[in-house]
Chains A and B, each alone.
Chain A
Amino acid sequence: MNPEFLIRLLSASQPRRPKVIFNCLTGKRTVSVLYWALRYKLLSWLNVFPSLQWDTFNGAVNKLVQDKRVTVQSDGQLLSNEALENDELSELFPAEQRQVYRIMHVKIVAETTLLGIQALSHTIYHDMGYFPVSVSERARVQVRRWFRSSSFDENHIRDLTLALNRWLATMPARKADVFLSQLAGEMHPGYTVQQLSQALNLPTWQIDLIQAANLAAFAQFCQADTHGWRNLLSPFMDQALPRPVKQTLSAVQQGTTRTAISQQRGLRPSTINEHLLTAAILLPLDQFPYEKCVDEATRESIKKHQPVNIDNWQGSLGATPDQFFQYRMTQIWETKQK
């Protein structure tokens, strides 16, 4: 992980826990990680780098600390000494594309994309004897399945390439250049990140981010496409919320109480609470029934006794699980108001 990228995930005013940032980037979805990622305004980065290693991440932290660009507080939280604008990241990798990573099986989507396009390229050139990109068996199986899902005759291939071409034309040209540079096929070995970095005069970490953004954009394109691209990646795209969370949510929306849900489904009340907190954090404000979890009066009374900065709120030590649930729900609601 590049320190330049990491420092842009830190704040000069809000101390941030490195473990939370790491867990968010690698897609650990505990309520605590999700909540703090939300507070750090980093929730959109959830699961964007699932294969990131702690040692690599920690190495970048140490580098920044060594260079005095970041300060470690006594409780281990990090504070940036540079107020680096986040706009740059959003331009390279818009938040709505980052959010696709939440529902994407990242590694297999990347592999399937590479091999699928390579196979298509070689099919066009009638060359079945090519050296395939090195991917997992799962990706190979999926690409074979994709090729069996349709005839792949000239008409079908024309539909596919035309759709792809149209989509690329809607992208910023430089991003489209990077996207194709990462693909391999007949007459086209592709380019390395290093080569792209030089040719485009951008640091490698920015190329990495553009590529990550491109993968999400391509996955979105495939999901929306009606010409056959959808079949390539659809097995590796999840729903926005995990199924149990969704079930709990719709039961609450239909008016079932949390206690009743817990009894009906044989789940512990704490699990039901976690489902709802997860849904509240991940869904937009207007798509979650806050009223059914914590009524306005409770919310107001909690808020009245707490400071303005939500990060400084103190939950009471003797709180019941239910009181804590309402307290957390209020924090989420308050955060999303802003």
Chain B
Amino acid sequence: MSREPHKIDNDIQLPRHVKPNDPRLKLSETAVDLARDRQAALRTHFGLKKFRPGQAEAIDSLQQGRNGLAILPTGSGKTLIYELTTYLINRPCLIVSPLLSLMQDQVGRLNQRGERRAVALNSLLTKPEKDSILSRLQQYRFIFISPEMLQNEGVMTSIQHCNIGLLVIDEAHCISTWGPDFRPAYLSLGDVRSQLGNPLTCVLTATADEHVQTDILTQLRLRPTAARKASMAMATDDQQNVQVIRQSVNRPNIFLAMRSVTSRKEKANELMGLMAKIVKPGIIYFSSKAQADEWAQRLSDAGYPAASYHAGLDAQTRYTVQQQFMADQLQVVCATSAFGMGIDKDNIRFVIHYHLPGNLNDYVQEIGRAGRDGQQSIAICLIAPGDEQLPADLATLPLPNDRQVKTFYETKQPALQTDMDQLLDYYKKHHFSEQQLIDRFGELRQERQLALRKFINFTRSPDCLRKTLLNGFNETSVPHDHSCCAPIGTEFSLSELGLAQDQHELQKTMQIPGWRQQFKALFSENFTNSNV
């Protein structure tokens, strides 16, 4: 079979920036080969047989040497996309990530899979630690780095020597100047990309509206493409060489339910009632750490193994709670919305919102933790009168108010201690006037109020919830059926969904075995000498 230099076969057009002698091209020759390669890698490196929605499409794009922007919900297996691609191209992968705790989690998860060549370069390292890592940077396959660390020249030089094959921008919405999570250091990523010789780039985010998406691609100097939105839309544009992959927000195996109560007290009773009959494990979301703690206590007192999980806990406690939940020692986790969980548990049967999230997007993210195994699951919002006030307050909290902007602009040499200071400093340095900024944050607050109103309308809608939800994301709706939803004021039956559990083994407190028994678990029967 002969082939022309710029055409590998009928299916794959070589993008213009890819040279015909690029070593990546040796990997595969046809679309079938690409599929076979990634399937094999999935089995070898991950022990899995099936890709989750969106994964194969994103990897395929990267295999073909096309940069990808994947807009996939948290926990949809975004990390697998770059991990697997890294094995396929057999060159180191640089992952830019803004969250220190998540970075460490990722390294942990790679370690868990037996991949030891992973490291996190961030401000948590001491100078000697950093130096030691930099000196053997080339040994690593997966290098996680904070955007701030990339601005360090020495670090950049070391990375340039690594022959980075894949650049990953995680949580890419941080690049958008007007986003609430904006990180000024993300703006340098366009430069970073060119300093590394424009390697294959994979941009990941869970949240990107058109505006943010355009921002991301512009900053990375990948010219934006118009993405069609559909259940699984792909917009390919060879000229601009970026492929946008967006996964549908529809999760057919999650039943959506809204439950209204007349008071806070009734809400508490409703939750207790649900706990008595719902199949576990599950997650309950609260708006504050204190509430999450209080309910974890209440539930464990009532005999349901429960614990709270939020940013206020120390690392060791969080680790223990995660591991207990994974091992099914805990049945209920009381979490705060603000805090992402570093766990990937497939069999979560319910997500209950005791307090409402601030917008549809957060809602979709949070309920998305349920039913990863494809089994029937349920998402329930408990709504009391006045409930919308709380997320309204929370939504505007992290934004600088007029007074804060004024004070910052009046201070000659402000100490840049908080994220907010950094943000304000960025705008000040970029010659934004005080008034422009005040106006901009005002607009942003309004946008958030709007998003909240949209979500509140969704919770109150008498229509099919799934239809309203999909419409909210400009997706085409699917027909309502008995396993679809229960809008506010309508009833649903847990037993019809197969989510009712009649008999409960209630445990008054978690029993803690004596040290000898714990020792046996830790070090196995073989290494436990009972004669001691």
In the complex, are the beta carbons of B515 and A190 less than 8 A apart? no
Closest to B109 in A: A131
A182-203: which residues lie under 8 A (CB-CB) from chain B? 182-196, 198-200
Contact B114 A177 (CB under 8 A): no
Establish whether residues A185 and B510, one from each chain, have CB atoms under 8 Å apart when the complex forms.
no
Is B514 a contact of A168 with CB atoms below 8 Å? Answer: no
* Docked-complex contact A198 and B108, CB < 8 angstroms: no
A interface: dominant SS: helix
Number of A-B contacts (CB under 8 A): 133
Interface residue A134 (Cβ < 8 Å from any Cβ of B): yes
In the complex, what residues of A have CB within 8 A of residue B515's CB?
Answer: 168, 173, 176-177, 179-180
* Binary contact track A153-177/B, C-beta < 8 Å → 1, others 0: 0000110011011101100010011
- Min Cβ gap B519→A in Å is 6
Distance from B269 Cβ to chain A, minimum over Cβ atoms (Å): 24
Of B125-133, B201-209, B443-451, the one with at least 4 CB within 8 A of chain A: B125-133
Residues of B within 8 A of A128 (CB): 114
Tell whether, in the assembled complex, residue A190 and residue B323 are in contact, meaning their CB atoms are under 8 Å apart.
Answer: yes
| B-facing residues in A113-170 (Cβ within 8 Å) | 114, 117, 120-121, 124-125, 128-134, 136-138, 141, 157-158, 161-162, 164-166, 168-169
Q: How far is the CA of A188 from the CA of B515 in the complex (A)?
A: 12
A181 interface residue per 8 A CB criterion: yes
Instruction: Tell me which of B57-65, B461-469, B521-529 binds A.
Output: B521-529
From A200, which residue of chain B is reached at the shortest CB distance?
A: B512
Residue ID in chain A nearest B343 by CB atoms: A131
B415 at the interface (CB under 8 A from A): no
Q: How long is the Cα–Cα vector from A162 to B529 in the complex, in angstroms? A: 7
In B289-316, which residues have CB < 8 Å from any A CB? 300, 307, 315-316
Determine the distance from Cα of A199 to Cα of B513 in the docked complex, in whole angstroms. Answer: 10
Q: Does B32 contact A (CB under 8 A)?
A: no
The answer to whether A136 and B522 have CB atoms under 8 Å apart is no
Which chain B residue lies CB-closest to A179? B515
User: Is B90 an interface residue, CB under 8 A from the partner?
Assistant: no
CA distance A125 to B318 in the complex (A): 24
With A165-B519, A165-B532 known as contacts, the answer to whether A129 contacts B320 (CB < 8 A) is no
Contact residues, B306-360 vs A (CB, 8 A): 307, 315-321, 323-324, 326-327, 329
A181 touches B321 (CB 8 A): no
Whether the Cβ atoms of B521 and A162 lie closer than 8 Å is no
B509–A125 contact, CB under 8 A?
Answer: no
Task: Give Cα A130–Cα B114 distance, bound, in whole angstroms.
Answer: 7
A317 to B54, CA, bound (A): 79
Residue of B nearest to A168 (CB): B515
User: Could you tell me the distance between the alpha carbons of A157 and B527 in the complex, rounded to whole angstroms?
Assistant: 8
- Is B111 interfacial (CB 8 A cutoff)? yes
Residues of B within 8 A of A199 (CB): 509-512
A128-B115 Cα distance, complex, nearest whole Å: 9
Min CB distance B107 to A, Å, is: 8
A168 pairs with B315, CB closer than 8 A: no
Name A193's closest neighbour in chain B (CB-CB): B317
Judge whether B195 is part of the interface by a CB distance below 8 angstroms. no
B188 to A: closest C-beta gap in Å? 25
| B518: Cβ under 8 A from any A Cβ | yes
**B320 to chain A: which residues have CB within 8 Å?**
184, 189-192
Chain B CB count within 10 A is highest, among A125, A157, A161, A181, for A161
Determine if A117 and B514 form an interchain contact, defined as CB atoms under 8 angstroms apart: no
A199 to chain B, nearest CB (A): 4
Report Cα–Cα, A183/B316, bound state, in Å. 10
Q: In the complex the two chains form, what is the Cα distance from A79 to B493 in whole Å?
A: 62
Distance of A73 from chain B, by nearest CB (Å) = 34
Q: Does B406 contact A (CB under 8 A)?
A: no
A138 and B126 in contact, given A165-B532, A199-B510 (Cβ under 8 angstroms): yes
Q: Is B1 an interface residue (CB 8 A)?
A: no
List 6 contacting pairs A-B, 8 Å CB cutoff, sorted by A. A124-B524, A124-B527, A130-B112, A158-B527, A177-B513, A190-B320
Closest 4 CB pairs of A and B: A189-B323, A176-B515, A180-B518, A129-B114
4 A-B pairs besides A134-B316, A192-B307, A199-B511 with CB distance below 8 A are A136-B125, A187-B521, A187-B524, A191-B510
